[in-house]
Amino acid sequence: MELIEAIRTRRSIGRVKPDPVPCSLIEDILEAAVWAPDHFHAEPWRFFVMEGEGRSVLGEAYAQIALQQQPDLPEGEQAAVREKHHAKAQRAPVVIAVGAVLPEEGDVRRREELAATHAAVHNLLLAAHSKGLGAIWRSGEPMYDVRMKQAFGLAAKDEIVALVYLGYPAFEPKTPPRAPAADKTVWL
């Protein structure tokens, strides 16, 4: 697949088949991710690949965050909440949490390291697409909770920047039209 074609045709795939993804494909995708632009050459990205029962790490983090937000929930209802949030981690055969190991200080440096890690996620998504896999970059409030960082052994100063759900596409995505670059460009 040509690069421009991959960029134009990659779409978020939220529904994937339960079929396992070979480790060799995951390794190829991660190898592409680490070639992202990195201004300070710090390679701040960290990848936490979850398959099978390993996805319970994410499910338990989701559940702990949800239960903490409902401290007065009766014990009988807690099990249902826990089950619901554990199920979120089972939506794909592979989930890759992407973290950024960040410096303690220096707002500009922190922003640069986050940008590099976001670029690594984009490389990962393009590589997955080129290998015939579907993926979606999920985020949301739980991703920013300290419990999510702790689930993956990250320090309070670090960040989770993506939860990438990965598998073989269960449908053919539509390619919505995009405004031409000229519509969004100012030449000075």
**Distance (Å, whole) CA 73 – CA 82:** 12
Residue 51, CB half-sphere, CA atoms under 13 Å: how many?
A: 10
Report the SS3 class of residue 156: coil
Task: Tell whether residue 137 is among the known ligand binding residues.
Answer: yes
| Burial group, residue 153, by CB count within 10 angstroms (0-12, 13-18, 19+) | exposed
| Burial group, residue 103, by CB count within 10 angstroms (0-12, 13-18, 19+) | middle
- Count H helices and E strands in the chain, helices first: 6, 4
pLDDT of residue 66: 94
Overall fold of domain 13-52+92-170: NADH Oxidase (3.40.109)
Residue 39, CB half-sphere, CA atoms under 13 Å: how many?
A: 11
Task: Tell whether residue 129 is among the known ligand binding residues.
Answer: no
Task: Tell whether residue 46 is among the known ligand binding residues.
Answer: no
| Burial group, residue 182, by CB count within 10 angstroms (0-12, 13-18, 19+) | exposed
pLDDT digits (tens, 9 = 90+) for 130-161: 999 999 999 999 999 999 999 999 999 999 99
pLDDT digits (tens, 9 = 90+) for 32-50: 999 999 999 999 999 999 9
Does residue 137 contact residue 12 with C-beta atoms inside 8 Å?
yes
Q: Return per-residue pLDDT of the chain as tens, 188 residues.
A: 789 999 999 999 999 999 999 999 999 999 999 999 999 999 999 999 999 999 999 999 999 999 999 888 888 899 999 999 999 999 999 999 999 999 988 899 999 999 999 999 999 999 999 999 999 999 999 999 999 999 999 999 999 999 999 999 999 888 888 999 999 999 99
